[in-house]
Amino acid sequence: MNDTVLLTREGPVARLTLNRPARRNAMNGAMGEALDAALDELAVDRSLRVVVMSGAGGHFCAGLDLTEVGSQADEAERLAAAQDRNRRAGERFVRLAALPQVVVAAIEGAAHAGGLGWVCAADIAIASSDARFCAPEVRRGLVPAQILPWLVRRMGRSAATRMVLRADVIDAAEAGRLGLVQQVVADRAALDAAVGAVVADIAEGAPLALAETKALIAALGPLSPVGYAEAGAQAFARCAAGEEAREGIAAFREKRKPRWAG
In this structure, are residues 69 and 52 in contact, taking their beta carbons and an 8 Å threshold? no
Phi, psi of 179 (to 5 degrees): 90, 10
Contacts of 91 (CB under 8 A, 6+ apart): 229
Contacts of 209 (CB under 8 A, 6+ apart): none
Separation CA 155–CA 145 (nearest Å): 16
The single residue of 137, 174, 244, 247 carrying the catalytic annotation is: 137
Contacts of 111 (CB under 8 A, 6+ apart): 60, 61, 118, 119, 127, 131, 132, 133, 134
Separation CA 187–CA 192 (nearest Å): 9
Residue 201: count of CB within 10 angstroms of its CB: 12
- Provide the sign of the torsion angle of the four alpha carbons 179, 28, 42, 226, taken in this order: positive
Separation CA 250–CA 262 (nearest Å): 18
Q: Indicate the burial class of 43 (C-beta count within 10 angstroms; 0-12, 13-18, 19 or more).
A: middle
137 included as an active-site residue: yes
- Provide the sign of the torsion angle of the four alpha carbons 86, 147, 53, 56, taken in this order: positive
Active site residues: 137
